């Protein structure tokens, strides 16, 4: 994460890029070269007029020197570093994650290049995983292969009988010959179907995405807002909208998301939401109280409204096992594409206490946001089974004037967590070692 104490390193890097000597920059900024030397070595804090003068001399915005790089680049580099403990197990030196801000400040070009390589690596890993899952679980591929193997086995068995039986009545010979002919035709058809199916696979180099990724791509193309589903008589439009989604599994996920959207839009029409926003502002609990709807439904509805109406609003949803099932991110708040997120998010805090809302200021890298979380039962408990839970976390801009020290530092996932001594990551490591 960005550190105020690294401003000197950024100033030095900018000076070198501009081809200026320390004395030249000090003169342009109206300070002594010795004082600038202390600043560049992070031995003096910088702010106020001196910061403005140095920024003007370098031709950059002051925020560039004090705030550092985007949290997204830091997160990308942390992910590119991979699992430090796994590297140690392989005998490799673990990346110095505690010095990542210094590295980015001194070598921004290399940092960007490594982040790109890390993203490409992750894309290749996802492709391999998706292809492996396809080979293992694709029902159409499995059925076609079964047909081919069945035909080959039948031909092999019949041919063995003909070869090993010395005396065979002509009637039985004709029957076995006919079986081989029919099984051969079946084998040819199965092999042809298999080839057509494999040739229709994604082209080399194209990323293979999961159904959940395809659903999110569909929702993101529309900004998670569907005016076609606002108002009555919208059920008939859902199927035509799903024509944009090719994968059948992704279609099923998208259909569920659109159906939920339709239900929320009927329960909280756009005009009613505008009235509630005018009266209470972006306060989900007040809106829920005024409309008589659940907090979870208000969360979903706020995240589905256009940004020009509610501003930047994100939403993360997990199931009872903690796996992400929907992610609408805003303002650079980073989430994993699948699996579980950071255990320090209030999203996981509420899973064990449905109906009780929790809010907290979160600090992810340089980004501060306000997170509000609540869990609800999607299927009530019975004597035969426990309840099924779902947790929601609304992400809003942090109000101005909030003390940075009050924000809770969080990561993305345990795998790329930048927080030193995190108890949640340590517990995960202990469990992993145990198994």
For residue 168, give the 3-state DSSP assignment: coil
Per the document, the length of the chain is 435
Taking only the tens of pLDDT, the chain with its 435 residues reads 344 456 777 788 778 877 888 888 988 888 888 888 888 887 777 767 888 888 888 887 776 676 654 455 666 676 666 654 445 555 566 677 667 666 766 677 777 788 788 778 877 877 777 666 666 655 556 667 777 888 888 888 888 888 888 788 888 888 888 889 888 888 887 787 677 666 655 444 444 456 788 899 899 999 999 999 987 778 888 999 999 888 788 899 999 999 999 999 999 999 999 999 999 999 999 999 999 999 999 999 999 999 999 999 999 999 988 888 999 988 888 888 767 888 899 999 998 888 899 999 998 887 889 999 999 998 888 888 888 899 999 999 987 666 666 888 998 877 666 677 777 766 655 444 443
What is the pTM (predicted TM-score) of this model? 0.55
The per-residue pLDDT for 374 is 96
CB 301, CB 264: distance < 8 Å: yes
d(CA 22, CA 3): 23
For CA atoms 404, 407, 408, 414, the dihedral sign is negative
The per-residue pLDDT for 5 is 53
d(CA 26, CA 13): 15
Q: Are strands 324-328 and 358-364 parallel, antiparallel or unpaired?
A: unpaired
Host H or E run for residue 359? strand 358-364
Q: Return the structure tokens found at 231.
A: 């108002």
Q: Return the structure tokens found at 302.
A: 């706020």
CATH number for the 312-435 domain, one of 3.40.50, 3.30.450, 1.10.3470, 3.10.20? Answer: 3.30.450
The per-residue pLDDT for 303 is 96
The per-residue pLDDT for 200 is 58
Max CA pair span of the chain = 111
The per-residue pLDDT for 129 is 72
Label residue 241 left, alpha or beta by phi (over 0 means left) and psi (-120 to 50 means alpha): alpha
| CB neighbours of residue 348 within 10 Å | 19
- How many CA atoms, within 13 angstroms, populate the side-chain half-sphere of residue 180? 15
Beta bridge partners of 374: 392
The per-residue pLDDT for 279 is 95
CB proximity list for 119: less than 8 A, separation 6 or greater: 76, 80
d(CA 77, CA 81): 6
Q: What topology does CATH give the domain 4-106? A: 434 Repressor (Amino-terminal Domain) (1.10.260)
The per-residue pLDDT for 267 is 93
Q: Return the structure tokens found at 325.
A: 């099932």
CB 95, CB 87: distance < 8 Å: yes
């Amino acid at each position: 994460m960005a550190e105020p104490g690294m401003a000197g390193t950024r100033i030095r890097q900018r000076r070198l890029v501009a081809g200026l000597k320390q004395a030249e920059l000090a003169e342009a900024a109206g300070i002594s070269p010795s004082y600038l030397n202390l600043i560049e070595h992070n031995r003096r804090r910088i702010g106020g007029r001196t910061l403005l003068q140095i920024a003007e001399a370098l031709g950059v915005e002051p925020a560039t020197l004090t705030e550092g790089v985007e949290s997204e680049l830091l997160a990308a580099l942390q992910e590119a570093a991979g699992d430090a403990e796994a590297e140690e197990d392989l005998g490799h030196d673990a990346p110095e994650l505690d010095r990542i801000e210094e590295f980015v400040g001194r070598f921004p070009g290399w940092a960007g290049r490594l982040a790109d390589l890390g993203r490409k690596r992750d894309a290749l890993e996802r492709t391999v995983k998706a292809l492996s899952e396809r080979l293992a679980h694709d029902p159409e591929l499995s059925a076609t292969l079964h047909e081919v193997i069945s035909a080959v086995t039948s031909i092999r068995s019949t041919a063995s009988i003909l070869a090993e039986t010395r005396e065979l009545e002509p009637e039985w010979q004709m029957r076995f010959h006919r079986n081989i002919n029919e099984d051969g035709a079946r084998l040819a058809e199965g092999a042809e179907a298999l080839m057509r199916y494999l040739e229709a696979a994604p082209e080399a180099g194209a990323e293979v995405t999961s159904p959940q990724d395809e659903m999110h791509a569909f929702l993101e193309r529309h900004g998670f807002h569907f005016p076609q589903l606002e108002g009555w008589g919208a059920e008939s439009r859902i199927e035509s909208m799903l024509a944009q989604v090719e994968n059948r599994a992704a279609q099923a996920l998208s259909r569920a998301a659109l159906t939920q959207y339709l239900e929320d839009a009927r329960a909280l029409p756009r005009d009613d939401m505008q009235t509630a926003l005018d009266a209470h502002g972006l306060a989900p609990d007040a809106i829920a109280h005024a409309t008589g709807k659940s907090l979870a439904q208000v969360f979903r509805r706020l995240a589905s409204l256009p940004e020009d109406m509610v501003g930047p609003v994100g939403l993360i949803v997990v199931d009872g096992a903690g796996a992400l099932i929907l992610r609408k991110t805003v303002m650079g708040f980073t989430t994993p594409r699948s699996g579980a997120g950071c255990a320090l998010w209030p999203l996981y805090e509420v899973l064990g206490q449905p109906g009780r809302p929790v809010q907290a200021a979160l600090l992810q890298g340089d980004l501060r946001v306000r997170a509000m979380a609540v869990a609800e039962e999607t299927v009530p408990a019975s004597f035969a089974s426990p309840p099924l839970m779902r947790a929601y976390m609304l992400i809003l801009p942090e109000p101005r004037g909030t003390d940075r020290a009050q924000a809770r530092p969080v990561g993305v996932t345990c795998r790329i967590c930048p927080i030193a001594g995190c108890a949640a990551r340590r517990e995960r490591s202990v469990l992993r070692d145990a198994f």
